[in-house]
Structure 1
Amino acid sequence: MMVVRRLLYTSILLQNQLLVKKGRWTETCTRWSPKGSYLATFHAQGIALLGGEYFKQIQRFAHPGVQLINFSPSERYLVTFRPMQEQGTSEDAQSIIIWEVFTGTKKMGFHADMSGVDDRAWDFWTKRAHQLME
């Protein structure tokens, strides 16, 4: 499956079939889960998870300013990351949150200053976090 100009297609035997036409999928970007079961869309207030036959919204993860996400290989957990933008953020603001995908439950949250950390470090951290959770 692929997302093309806000249209969702499925390719079976090299024949594209339009599944869903939607005016606004996301505010910034999208990301597929490892098995293709979910399409995560990024919004100012967090992540929306789309799934099912017609990719309806099935879950929301409230994490304002989220910039990176990663799914566990089994798609059971989702890790979200947002940089701490200001020194004066509230004490309960967390940079990294681990969520249970099916229920939308926040399992763990962490404060972290990851400014200047490249994507390789993020991938290492999320793989380690998923090993701890599963």
Structure 2
Amino acid sequence: MLLMTFATKSLSSVSAGATRVVTLTLKPVNAIVKALIHRREVMRLGELDERGLKDIGLVRSDLDGALSVSWLSDPSLILAERSSARHGVASLRRQAALRQAETAAAPRAPARGTPAEPPALSGAPSHSVACSA
């Protein structure tokens, strides 16, 4: 019984150290495998047309730029950064356009002492001509 206790304790301490060594050794290998898998997926994105790429917030030059990095680095990280940057710029443009539309559509108060005119119908002339037939 003493032998079993000694053996299990020494094996558990060896396995913890071995687990640590294997984890530290396999981390870079795992990162390289992920980078290669993601590179293959980015290459498959290249099969999409321009409209499909635009739907996910990318353009063809984004794919080319992401694939031009080292094969050891992950190209999907570059695509995610470019897509989010483009999304941020687009949302700022939308907000500016909404503000501009709100200020253009806001009714203007007439100046003091001037009567308020009724709004003209769109497409209709502001003056009327009477004609008798």
TM-score range, shorter chain: under 0.3
Structure number having the greater strand percentage: 1
Structure number having the greater helix percentage: 2
**Greater relative contact order: 1 or 2 (C-alpha under 8 angstroms, separation 6 or more)?**
2
